[in-house]
């Protein structure tokens, strides 16, 4: 009899624990620039802003690229601390390559130095899930969420939303309380057609309809008032064209070197140490619509010199200009792209969105720019769990957007 009562008590306590855990859905609209919600074509996002919290913009990390910033959001760390320094980079010691689209690389946990929030949460009793998020498919079992979907670029949006709803309808003891969701549309259209095109407006409206469908599905399962929805983007977008290009291969003609990255940010590693000073002087002498730095002298506000994989010379293009060699110039011309990102993260064109609504957030509250690295400690606060001690994010920069919590 005593054993039976003890088991009943454990069951009650377990149910109470699950009931007390909040629900958070973190959504990323890739490349959704800070001002896209101001075009009068996003009624569902506007409803979120009216009901919750909206920031004037979300400041990305440098460089303002997709994988580095998604991992900055989920780990609370700058790119040179969490390990994903670019969408494509080399380990100069082993010659191994990290590259988007390479499933072996993006699922290999050795590249990811920061701890993603889902790992922090799972370690402290919060079941997590990911419907696409960079880093969520890591092969090590303790580095990915309990539930995750492998990335499918062509999966219908409503199917993704329905997948989230399916998780929320699982039995309480199996149900995730933290979920991520990702959509690519505005990044694709922004690159191909530019941030002022009709095509980008169509993509904006399409993603706004996703928010409408999401809340409709919340109504279907009776959870509209239970889920905290945080809508973010990894970066913004700016206009580019082939007339604004700097041919680094022509400037460094005759030198032997390795090049990392192109267009907004380029890094250079001289093949011979004796050539370092001459290469740097040559780049400095030709400095026009870009800035060149020795890695150790890169301004602190970039937070981009602590990772050993970053090459020792760093070039940062002016907004809208592109650093190229002939190969990448030809690719740029062939693609006809009219938009890009990756530039100085203090440029407003590189900023994304931050909108949050739900029981944890203030209502109708507007604030200025918030930093994406602060989202990780914000999530820890919402779930009342301990963050990692080595994060760069600071709760005090963002905590004020939450409703007062009972002690």
Catalytic residues: 66
Integer Cα distance of 34 and 99 in angstroms: 27
Q: Where are the beta strands (DSSP E) in 132-288?
A: 147-149, 178-183, 227-232, 238-239, 245-247, 257-260, 265-270
SS3 313: strand
Integer Cα distance of 63 and 304 in angstroms: 8
Query: What are residue 257's DSSP bridge partners?
Result: 270
Q: H-type helices in 263-354, by residue range?
A: 276-285, 326-335
Burial class of 150 by CB neighbour count within 10 A (0 to 12, 13 to 18, 19+): exposed
Is residue 117 within 8 A of residue 74, CB to CB? The reply is yes
Query: Phi, psi (5° rounding) for residue 355?
Result: -135, 130
Integer Cα distance of 354 and 42 in angstroms: 14
Query: Phi, psi (5° rounding) for residue 77?
Result: -130, 150
Residue 341, token pair as written in the block: 């990102």
């Amino acid at each position: 009899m005593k054993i039976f009562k003890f088991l009943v008590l454990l069951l009650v306590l377990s149910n109470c624990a699950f009931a007390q855990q909040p629900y958070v859905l973190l959504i990323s609209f890739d490349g959704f620039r800070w001002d896209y919600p101001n075009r009068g074509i996003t009624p569902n996002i506007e409803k979120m802003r009216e009901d919750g919290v909206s920031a004037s913009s979300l400041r990305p990390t440098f460089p303002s690229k997709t994988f580095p910033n998604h991992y900055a959001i989920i780990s609370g760390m700058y790119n040179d601390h969490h390990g994903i320094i670019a969408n494509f980079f080399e380990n100069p010691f082993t010659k191994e390559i990290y590259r988007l689209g390479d499933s072996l690389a993006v699922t290999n946990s050795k590249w990811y130095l920061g701890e993603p929030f889902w790992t922090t949460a799972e370690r402290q009793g919060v079941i997590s899930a990911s419907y696409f998020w960079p880093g969520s498919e890591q092969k090590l079992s303790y580095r990915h969420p309990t539930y995750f979907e492998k990335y499918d670029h062509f999966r219908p949006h409503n199917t993704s939303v329905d997948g989230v709803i399916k998780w929320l309808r699982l039995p309480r003891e199996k149900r995730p309380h933290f979920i991520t969701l990702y959509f690519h549309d505005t990044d694709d259209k922004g690159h191909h057609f530019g941030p002022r095109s009709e095509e980008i407006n169509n993509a904006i409206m399409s993603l706004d309809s996703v928010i409408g469908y999401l809340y409709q599905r919340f109504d279907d399962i009776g959870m509209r008032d239970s889920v905290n929805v945080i809508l973010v983007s990894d970066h913004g977008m700016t206009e580019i064209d082939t007339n604004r290009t700097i041919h680094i291969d022509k400037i460094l003609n005759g030198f032997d070197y390795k090049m990392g990255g192109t267009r907004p940010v380029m890094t250079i590693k001289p093949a011979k140490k004796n050539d370092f000073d001459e290469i740097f002087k040559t780049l400095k002498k030709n400095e026009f619509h870009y800035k060149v730095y020795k890695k150790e002298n890169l301004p602190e506000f970039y937070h981009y010199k602590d990772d050993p994989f970053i090459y020792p010379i760093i070039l940062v293009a002016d907004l809208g200009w592109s650093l190229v060699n002939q190969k990448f110039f030809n690719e740029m011309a062939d693609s006809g792209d009219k938009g890009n990102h990756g530039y100085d993260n203090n440029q407003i064109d590189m900023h994304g969105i931050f909108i949050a609504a739900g029981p944890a957030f203030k209502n109708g509250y507007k604030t200025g720019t918030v930093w994406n690295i602060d989202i990780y400690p914000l999530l820890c606060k919402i779930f009342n769990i301990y963050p990692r001690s080595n994060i760069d994010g600071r709760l005090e920069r963002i905590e004020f957007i939450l409703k007062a919590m009972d002690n």
